[in-house]
Structure 1
Amino acid sequence: MNYIDLHLHSTYSDGTLTPLLLVKEAKKHGLQAISLTDHDTMEGVSEIIAHGITYGVEILPGVELSAHIDSASIHILGYGLRHNDPLLLSRLESIQHARNLRNEKIITRLNDLGIDITKEDVDTLSQTGQTGRPHFAQILISKGVIHSFDEAFDKYLGQNGIAYVPRKILPAADAIRYIKEAGGIAVLAHPLTIDQSITCIPELVETLKGFGLGGIEVYYPSHSKAARKTLFELSRVFDLVATGGSDYHGHSQTGNGMGKTGKNQRLPYEIFEKLKSRLQTT
Structure 2
Amino acid sequence: MSYADLHVHTTRSDGSLTLEELPAAARRGGVEVVAVTDHDRLQPFDDPILEREGVTIVHGIELRVETESGQRVDLLGYGVEPTDELVATTERIQSNRIERGQAIVDCVEDRLGVDLDLTASEGFGRPHVARAIDDHPDTDYDYEGAFDHLIGSSCPCFVPREIPSFERGRAALAEAGEIVSLAHPLRYPDLEGALALAPDLDALELRYPYDRDVDLQPVERAIDRHDLLATGGSDAHDGRLGLAGLSRAKYDRLEL
Measured after TM superposition, the shift of residue 38 of structure 1 is: 0.5
Please tell me whether residue 239 in structure 1 is matched to residue 213 in structure 2: no
Which of 195, 200, 220 is residue 205 of structure 1 equivalent to? 195
Match of 1:34 in 2: 34
Distance 1:109 1:122 in 2: 13
Contact 2:13 2:39 in 1 (8 A): yes
Distance 2:250 2:45 in 1: 21
| Aligned pairs (5 A) from 1:246-261 | 246-251=234-239, 257-261=240-244
Tell me the secondary structure at the aligned position of residue 145 of structure 2.
helix
Match of 1:190 in 2: 184
Match of 1:172 in 2: 166
Contact 2:23 2:54 in 1 (8 A): no
Given the superposition, is the C-alpha separation of residues 176 and 146 from structure 1 closer, same or farther in structure 2, using an over 3 Å criterion?
farther
Distance 2:180 2:44 in 1: 19
Match of 2:156 in 1: 162
Runs of 4+ in 1 over 4 A off after TM superposition: 44-49, 223-226
Contact 2:43 2:59 in 1 (8 A): no
Contact 2:206 2:232 in 1 (8 A): yes
Match of 1:73 in 2: 72
Contact 1:5 1:259 in 2 (8 A): yes
Distance 2:141 2:170 in 1: 38
Contact 2:59 2:78 in 1 (8 A): yes
Match of 2:105 in 1: 107
Structure-1-length-normalised TM-score: 0.81
Which of 118, 123, 140 is residue 121 of structure 1 equivalent to? 118
Distance 1:54 1:204 in 2: 35
Q: Which moved more, 1:52-61 or 1:71-80?
A: 52-61
Tell me the secondary structure at the aligned position of residue 58 of structure 2.
strand
Please tell me whether residue 142 in structure 1 is matched to residue 135 in structure 2: yes
Contact 2:48 2:79 in 1 (8 A): no
Question: Partner amino acid for 2:71?
Answer: A
What per-residue deviation string (whole Å, max 9, x for no partner) do you get for residues 3-62 of structure 1?
Answer: 11000000110000111212211123222211000000013556996xx62411112210
Contact 1:65 1:175 in 2 (8 A): yes
Q: Pairwise CA RMSD of aligned residues?
A: 2.6
Distance 2:53 2:99 in 1: 38
Contact 1:19 1:48 in 2 (8 A): no
Given the superposition, is the C-alpha separation of residues 223 and 108 from structure 1 closer, same or farther in structure 2, using an over 3 Å criterion?
closer
Measured after TM superposition, the shift of residue 107 of structure 1 is: 2.9
Distance 1:66 1:174 in 2: 11
Contact 2:39 2:123 in 1 (8 A): no
Distance 1:75 1:173 in 2: 13
Measured after TM superposition, the shift of residue 215 of structure 1 is: 0.8
The count of residues paired between Structure 1 and Structure 2 equals: 254
Which of 239, 252, 255 is residue 273 of structure 1 equivalent to? 252
Gaps of 5+ in 1: 252-256
Distance 1:25 1:72 in 2: 34
Structure-2-length-normalised TM-score: 0.88
Match of 1:220 in 2: 208
Distance 1:74 1:109 in 2: 26
Contact 1:32 1:269 in 2 (8 A): no
Q: Which has the higher contact order (CA 8 A, sep 6+)?
A: 2
Distance 1:177 1:161 in 2: 33
Distance 2:215 2:167 in 1: 25
Gaps of 5+ in 2: none
Given the superposition, is the C-alpha separation of residues 219 and 115 from structure 1 closer, same or farther in structure 2, using an over 3 Å criterion?
same
Please tell me whether residue 132 in structure 1 is matched to residue 120 in structure 2: no
Measured after TM superposition, the shift of residue 87 of structure 1 is: 2.8
Given the superposition, is the C-alpha separation of residues 225 and 238 from structure 1 closer, same or farther in structure 2, using an over 3 Å criterion?
farther
Give the % identical residues. Answer: 31
| Aligned pairs (5 A) from 1:14-53 | 14-44=14-44, 53=51
